[in-house]
A = this chain, B = another copy of it.
Amino acid sequence: MDGARSRERILDAAEELLSERGYAGTGIAAISEASGLPASSIYWHFESKEDLTAAAVERTTERWLEALEASEPGPEASSDEVVEWISQSLEEMGRQLPFFMRLSLLLGLEVGHREPALMERLRRGRERTRGVIRGTLERVLGLEGTKVDAPLADEIARLSMAFSEGASVARLFEPEGIDLARFVEDLATGMRAITAARQAEVSS
């Protein structure tokens, strides 16, 4: 009866199952059971499994970026506040790991090379995430009295993302392996050192 609500329920189920079992491992029957709606309803709302997957990725990405941007520190934020922000983002990432990160990683690895459109979607999500991080870094590193040009800010943002994502993967295999608070400190220390080294290199 309520089509919009049904669509959301299907997306909820798809998001959860896809991020847990991957594309090939998630059957329409499983999504049907998890959402409580028959397969025909799924195919009324979505063209195909591929289409449903794309919609789930889209929604998950949008939610993740919303949460990320909402927590973004203001333009007057201190360096410590940014460290705090990164920490919170990572926790948010940790909470959304079954949805955003697992979905990106799993689908990117599994079907990325076979479905360029899906891969492009995932890539854009990553780019936008990097954009948010870069923007904050530029403002904050600028506030500290050092001049950071755009390419360097982009590189540091890339490295920060890689570092964080690697930590999330490590936590997947060993949930107790990485202390998140310590990790964020180390991330800040490392990125500051790399920024300093790169700037010294340019000016010499």
Residues of A within 8 A of B (CB): 20-25, 102, 105-106, 108-113, 119, 122-123, 126, 155, 158-159, 161-167, 169-170, 172-174, 177-178, 182-183, 185-186, 189-194, 197-198
Specify which chain B residues have a CB less than 8 angstroms from the CB of A198 in the assembled complex. Answer: 186
Residues on the B chain within 8 Å of A192, using CB: 193
Copies of this chain, how many?
2
20 sample A-B contacts, Cβ–Cβ < 8 Å, listed by A number: A21-B110, A21-B111, A25-B25, A105-B109, A106-B106, A106-B110, A108-B173, A109-B109, A112-B172, A123-B173, A159-B167, A161-B166, A161-B170, A162-B163, A163-B163, A163-B166, A186-B194, A186-B197, A189-B197, A192-B193
CA distance A20 to B113 in the complex (A): 9
Chain B residue at minimum C-beta to C-beta distance from A201: B185
User: In the complex the two chains form, what is the Cα distance from A22 to B25 in whole Å?
Assistant: 9
Complex Cα–Cα for A186 and B190 (A): 9
From B21, B105, B123, B183, contact of A24 by CB (8 A): B21
B193 and A189: CB pair below 8 A?
yes
Closest to A197 in B: B189
Question: In the assembly, what is the distance between CA of A165 and CA of B162, in Å?
Answer: 8
CA A189 to CA B201, docked complex, whole Å: 13
Assuming A159-B183, A186-B197, A190-B190, what are 5 further A-B pairs, CB within 8 angstroms? A20-B113, A22-B22, A23-B25, A165-B170, A186-B198
Give Cα A194 to B194, complex, Å.
11
Output the least CB separation between A87 and chain B (Å): 16
- B residues within 8 A CB of A163? 159, 162-163, 166
Question: Taking the nearest CB of chain B, how far is it from the CB of A65, in angstroms?
Answer: 16
A192 to B158, CA, bound (A): 19
CA distance A164 to B159 in the complex (A): 10
With A22-B25, A110-B21 as known contacts, state yes or no: A169 contacts B177, CB within 8 Å. Answer: no
